[in-house]
Amino acid sequence: MIERYHILLHEFHQETSKELQLFSIIAQSFFQPFSLIDNLLVILTALTSGTGLGFNRAMLFLAGGDKLRGEIWLGPASAEEAASIWRVLSTPGIGYLEIIEHNRSLLRGDAGTLTKRIKKTAYPLGTVNPLVPALAAFSRDIVLVRDARHEPLVDPAFLEMIDADEFLCMPLLAEQSVLGEIILDNAITKLPIKSRDIELASICGLIAGNYIYTSNLQRRIVDMKRVAAMGEMAMFVTHQLRNPIVTIGGFADQLLDPKVPETKKKRNLQIIRDEIRGMEKILLRLGQFLRVDIKQQVPVDVRDLFKLVTEAVRPKTADASITIKSEVEEGLSAILCDPVHVGEALRNLIDNALDALGPGGELNLRAYRDSGGWAVLSVQDNGRGIPNAVKGKIFDAFVSTKKHGMGLGLPYVKRVVDGCGGRIDVESEEGKGTTFRLYFRAKPQEREIPG
Amino acid sequence: MKKKILLVEDEQNLCLLYKEELKEAGYNVTAVLDADSALERIKKNTYDLIVTDIRMPGKNGIDLITQIMALRKDIPIIINTAYQSYKHDFMTWAADAYVVKSSSLAELKAKIKELVG
C-alpha cells in the first residue's frame, strides 16, 4: 500500500507544535525563488511572530568585510501595534507567503523606520576587546544580556538604539566563519528570556547561518561561471584579433621606412584596410551572437520559411550540383517563433550542411509533428558528418573546425531555438551525414465550424 | 651563404609580411601556407630553420613538428603562434623556441639569429 503526502502547513495535525510548524515555514521558504534577505526575513518572522517562538523584536546583522552591518530590524514599535500584528499572525492557516507579504509591508511601514535606524550601524569584528553586540559574533557564543544598562560590556550607542534591558545575541555561524548575528528582545511584553527560548532561537540561528553560507556559495558559483564564460570569450577574441593586428602593425612599420616605393606603400595600405575590415566582421558576428533577444513570437508558415531559405542558397547549391528538397507534412501549417531569427538559424544549418556536402550531395528539409505534439523542422544531409572529437562541443561557443570559423553558428541556432521555447538535437555519423532537428510549438489547429 | 628558412603560416598577408621581413634581414625564405606543403619541401630540400604556426587548417603545427622530428631530427624549429596556451602542450618541448606573434618582429628575428646566426 502506498500513501502520499504533500507537506503543506495547513495540513499539519492540530497537536503539532507551533514551533514545528514555524520551522516548516522556514524550510519551505528556502524552496521559493526569494532573495537572501526575503528568506532571512521569514526566519526573523518565525522568531518574532508573537504566539510563535515568542520574541518581540529581532535585528539582523550580516558580516561584510570585518564588520557587522545592520540589515533588518523587525518588530512592532509599540504595544498597540504589537497586538494588531500578532492578531494577524495567529490567524489559523496563515502561509509563509502571507507572512512574507505581511512583513514586507511592515518593513515599508513603522518597522521600516526601525530598519532605517539599524541600516546605518556597523560594529567592527576585529577589535581586541569587542563590546556587545560584536562580542557574540567575535566569541562565537550565544550571549544573553540582562540588566543591560549596568553592563559595561554593552556598547552604549547600541544600548541607546535597542532601548531594552534584556536581549539575546545569537551569532550566525557556518564552516568556521561568522556570517552575521541576530539580536532578539522582548522590549514590548517585558517577558524574561527563558532557556527554552534560547534553544529555539539557536536552531533558527543555525538554519540562518547555513542558509547564508549556502546562498553565498551559490552566488560564488554563478560569479565563477560568469567569469569563466567571459574569460573564454576574451581569450577567443584576443586570438582572433592577434593575427590581423600583427599584420597591420608589421605593414605599418614598413610604411614608416622613407625608402619604401609608392607601389609598396599602396599595397601595404590595401592590406591594412582589408585586415581592418576582417576585424570589423569578427566584431559584428560576435555582436550579433551576443544580442540574440527573442521577444515576439508569431505563427510562421513553415512552407514560406523553407521557400525563403532554399531560394537564398539556390545559387550555391546549383554551383556545387547539390540537390535540395523540402517537404512539409499535411496539416502542419504554422509554428510559433521569431521568423527573422529562425530563418537565420536555418540558413546557418544549411550553410554548414553545404560545407559538409560534396558534389552530388543531398540536403533534405522536413517539417512534421512528432508524437509529443512538437512541430519539428529537420535539416538532413548525407555529407561527411561531425567528427567524433567535437561532437560533444558543437553547441559551445568558439568551437570551430573551419579556418576562419568563429564557432558561433550552432550556438546561435541553439540560442534562437531555446529563446522560442523549443529545443534542438542532432544525430550524426562520420561519413554518413548529419540531421539537426529543431522542435517548436505548433500553432494550435483551429476547429472547423460545422455547416 | 644565406641561411635557408622554411616558413609555415596559413594567413596569407601575415605570411607575406614574415617573408619580406626575413628576406630583408638577410635570409633565404621559402614560405608555405600549410603543413602538408611544408613536409613536401622538407623531403626535397634542406633548410637551416623552420618557423611554424600551430593553429592551421588541416594538419596543425604540432603534427607537423612530430613528422619533421621523424624526418630530420637536427633542424631547429621555432613555434610562432598567436596562442600563449600551446606553450604547455606536450609536443612543443620538441621546438627550440616559442614565440607569441607580435607586430614587432624583433623577438622572432632575435630567436632566429640565436639559432642560425
A363-393 b/e (C-beta count within 10 Å ≥ 16 → b)? bbbbbbeeeeebbbbbbbbbbbbbeeeeeee
Cα–Cα distance for residue pair B11/B34, rounded to 1 Å: 10
Range of the domain at A356: 298-442
Q: Does A324 lie in the same domain as A273? A: no
In a domain, A393, yes or no: yes
For chain A, how many structural domains are there in total? 3
Q: Which backbone phi and psi does A174 adopt, to 5 degrees? A: -160, 135
pTM: 0.58
User: For residue B51, what is the domain's CATH number?
Assistant: 3.40.50.2300
Q: What is the pLDDT of residue A1?
A: 85
Contact A44, A205 (CB under 8 A): no
Q: Is A2 part of any domain?
A: no
A236, A247, A277, best to mutate vs chain B, most B CBs in 10 Å: A247
CB pair distance less than 8 Å for A271 and B13: yes
- In total, the C-beta contacts within 8 angstroms joining chain A to chain B are 43
Q: Which residue segment(s) compose the domain that B46 sits in?
A: 4-116
Of A195, A220, A245, which residue sits at a domain end?
A: A220
Whether chain A has a CB inside 8 Å of the CB on B25: the answer is: no
Are A186 and A279 contained in the same domain? Answer: no
Co-location of A337 and A245 in the same domain? no
With CA atoms as reference, the chain B residue closest to A246 would be B103
Neighbours of A82 (CB within 10 A): 19
Q: Which member of A243, A252, A254 has the closest CB to residue B101? A: A243
Q: Judge whether A242 lies within some domain.
A: yes
Q: φ and ψ at A192, to 5 degrees? A: -70, 150
Q: Side chain identity at A3, as an amino acid letter?
A: E
| Same domain, residue pair A159 and A211 | yes
Is there a single domain that holds both residue A236 and residue A216?
no
The continuous run of DSSP H or E covering A81 comes out as helix A79-89
In a domain, A449, yes or no: no
Using the 3D structure, point to which of A201, A220, A239 is the last residue of a domain.
Answer: A220
The CATH number assigned to the domain holding A154 equals 3.30.450.40
**B7-43 residue pLDDT tens:** 999 999 999 999 999 999 999 999 999 999 999 999 9
A270 and A128 in a single domain? The answer is no
Identify whether residues A174 and A27 lie together within a single domain: yes
How many separate domains does chain B show?
1
How many whole angstroms separate alpha carbon A195 and alpha carbon A198? Answer: 5
Q: What distances in angstroms separate CA A357 from CA A145, A324, A354, A365, one per listed residue? A: 80, 11, 5, 15
A251 and A156, same structural domain?
no
Q: Residue A197: which residues within 8 A CB-CB, separation 6 or more?
A: A53, A54, A55, A168, A184
Q: What per-residue confidence (pLDDT) applies to A245? A: 95
Which residue of chain B is at minimal alpha-carbon distance from A275?
A: B13
- Cα of first residue to Cα of last residue in chain B, in angstroms, is 12
What single string gives the DSSP state of each residue in A4-57?
-----GGGS-TTS-HHHHHHHHHHHHTTS---HHHHHHHHHHHHHSTTSS--SE
Nearest to B82 among A243, A250, A252 (CB): A243
Are A210 and A262 members of one domain? no
Q: Complex ipTM, two decimals?
A: 0.90
Shared-domain flag, residues A168 and A263: no
Q: Is A361 inside a domain boundary?
A: yes
Q: Mean pLDDT for chain B? A: 91
Contact list in B for residue A239 (CB cut-off 8 A) is 82-83
- For chain A, the distance separating the N- and C-terminal CA atoms, rounded to the nearest angstrom, is 53
Give the pairing type, strands B49-52 and B4-8: parallel
3-state class of A363 per DSSP?
strand
The confidence score (pLDDT) of residue A93 equals 64
Flag whether A209 is in a domain.
yes
Which pLDDT score, from 0 to 100, does residue A443 have?
73
B104–A253 CB contact, under 8 Å? yes
Smallest CA–CA distance from B57 into chain A, residue: A403
Question: How far is CA B14 from each of CA A144, A185, B39, rounded to the nearest angstrom?
Answer: 75, 75, 20
pLDDT value for A451? 43
Residue A352 lies in a domain: yes
CA distances (Å), A215 to each of A105, A202, A206, A318, A394, in order?
24, 20, 14, 58, 32
Residue B78 has pLDDT above 80, yes or no: yes
Q: Which residues pair with A362 in a beta bridge?
A: A323
Q: Are residues A235 and A320 in the same domain?
A: no
Per-residue tens of pLDDT for chain A, all 451 residues: 888 776 555 566 777 777 787 787 777 777 766 678 888 888 888 888 655 567 889 999 999 888 999 999 988 877 787 777 777 766 766 665 676 677 777 676 655 678 888 888 999 987 788 899 999 999 999 999 999 999 999 999 999 999 999 999 999 998 788 999 999 999 988 999 999 899 989 999 999 999 999 888 988 998 998 888 888 888 888 888 999 999 999 999 999 999 999 999 999 999 999 999 999 988 888 888 888 888 778 899 999 999 999 988 888 887 778 889 999 998 887 898 998 899 999 999 998 998 888 888 899 999 999 888 899 999 999 999 998 888 888 988 887 777 777 888 899 999 999 989 899 999 999 989 999 999 998 876 654 455 4
* In-domain check, residue A448: no
The answer to whether A366 and A416 are in contact (CB under 8 A) is no
- Residue (of A373, A345, A343, A346) closest to A442 by Cα position: A373
Pick from A175, A198, A220: which residue ends a domain? A220
Q: Which of A132, A155, A143, A138 is nearest to A202 (CA)?
A: A143
* Residues A424 and A329 grouped into a single domain: yes
pLDDT at site A228: 86
Other beta carbons within 10 angstroms of residue A336's beta carbon come to 17
Comparing alpha-carbon positions, the chain B residue that sits nearest to A244 is B14
